[in-house]
Amino acid sequence: MTQFLTAAFYKFVELPDYASLKEPLLAFCEQQCVKGMILLATEGINSTIAGTPEGVHAVLAYLRQDPRLADLQHKEAWSDKAPFYRMKVRLKREIVTLGVPEANPSTLAGTYVKPADWNALISDPDVVVVDTRNDYEVGIGTFQGALDPNIHSFSQLPQWVSQAAVLNPVTGKKPKVAMFCTGGIRCEKSTALLRTQGFDEVYHLEGGILKYLETVPPEQSLWQGVCFVFDERVSVGHGLEVGEYGLCRACRMPISDADKLSTLFEDGVSCARCHAVTSDTQKAGARERKRQWDLAKARGLDWVGASK
């Protein structure tokens, strides 16, 4: 059985010429039969790609030829099915959208904490632990005792920070804060955000949840549940083993076996979360995509239209 290597990476670095990087990079990825998504912005690069080990490593080597990306770090995982069906390189204002230009991780990111030291930090009762991810991600797994801002998108985090009573100063001193996210990129921006607001002791999990799950033994772990990932694996657990969640093809949210028992669930068309917000026309289109997907699968073919 063919195994696919997935590489996730990001770097906050000044790339004023980012637009000119797009076409050569896309062409090289396609030449290597690598698929996935690469985001480019003036503030850096953010990506998850997958393919053969040779193809993925060739793309990483290509990127590291640029002196600004020479020390680019990446995380690897394996899967038995293709995590992506297309290759896209997109130009963005931010590689992760927060909407606060002064929160520059290149100069203001908080203190990195290695996975081996994370348990001790978040077990400190004087530390406020914040999960910076979206509500549907938190819903299937998080760290013990972590606060859920209950946001639908990362750009809503600044408003939560401005209103969260738990972040108010105590006897004139702002609290220590530990923040985490899937791979590290959102919590780098989150800690930069807090530092713009006068927080001096701000920490974030180096390598994110994925590095923690990869390196911390289950018996020592303070993680509960699984971690949502933005590819066809949907979720991973300790050792980065693929979890049991599926994906609603309509709203791209994780769904469990119990969710599939809902009368509002229709494979490839809707789930209980999105059934009421999609029109009959949208559902009909989804049914046709599902039919095309099933037909291609029966013929042993990939159908790129199956993935949004």
Give 5-47 pLDDT, tens digit per residue: 999 899 999 999 999 999 999 999 999 999 999 999 999 999 9
Q: Are 50 and 37 in contact (CB under 8 A)?
A: no
DSSP annotation of 50 reads E
Q: How far apart are CA 63 and CA 44, in angstroms?
A: 12
DSSP annotation of 237 reads -
**Residue 143 to residues 81, 132, 133, 158, 180, Cα–Cα distance (Å):** 29, 12, 12, 21, 9
Q: How far apart are CA 139 and CA 136, in angstroms?
A: 5
Q: How far apart are CA 237 and CA 289, in angstroms?
A: 30
For the chain, the 3-state helix, strand and coil shares in percent, each to the nearest 5, are 35, 25, 40
Q: What pLDDT does residue 1 have?
A: 59
Q: What pLDDT does residue 308 have?
A: 37
Q: What pLDDT does residue 303 have?
A: 53
Q: What pLDDT does residue 295 have?
A: 86
Residue 181 annotated among the catalytic residues of the structure: yes
Q: What pLDDT does residue 143 have?
A: 98
Q: What pLDDT does residue 306 have?
A: 41
Q: What pLDDT does residue 302 have?
A: 61
Q: What pLDDT does residue 301 have?
A: 67
**Residue 192 to residues 101, 157, 198, Cα–Cα distance (Å):** 10, 12, 10
Q: How far apart are CA 280 and CA 114, in angstroms?
A: 49
Question: Which residues, 6 or more positions from 160, have their beta carbon under 8 angstroms from its beta carbon?
Answer: 149, 150, 151
Q: What pLDDT does residue 14 have?
A: 93
**Residue 241 to residues 197, 205, 218, 234, 244, Cα–Cα distance (Å):** 38, 20, 12, 11, 10
Which stretches of the chain drop beneath a pLDDT of 50?
A: 306-308
Domains of the chain: 4-91 (3.30.70.100), 105-224 (3.40.250.10), 246-306 (no CATH)
Q: Are 151 and 135 in contact (CB under 8 A)?
A: yes
Nearest to 96 by CA among 159, 45, 131, 22: 45
Question: Which residues, 6 or more positions from 289, have their beta carbon under 8 angstroms from its beta carbon?
Answer: 249, 268, 305, 306
Q: Is 36 helix (H, G, I), strand (E, B) or coil?
A: strand
Give 89-113 pLDDT, tens digit per residue: 999 999 999 999 999 998 899 999 9
Phi-psi region of 14 (alpha: psi -120 to 50; beta: other; left: phi over 0): beta
* The CA-based dihedral angle spanning residues 66, 95, 183, 250, taken in that order and rounded to the nearest 10 degrees: -130
Q: How far apart are CA 308 and CA 302, in angstroms?
A: 14
Phi, psi dihedrals of residue 17, rounded to the nearest 5°? -100, 25
Nearest to 202 by CA among 228, 177, 235: 177
Q: How far apart are CA 39 and CA 12, in angstroms?
A: 12
Considering 29, 181, 227, 248, which one is annotated as catalytic? 181
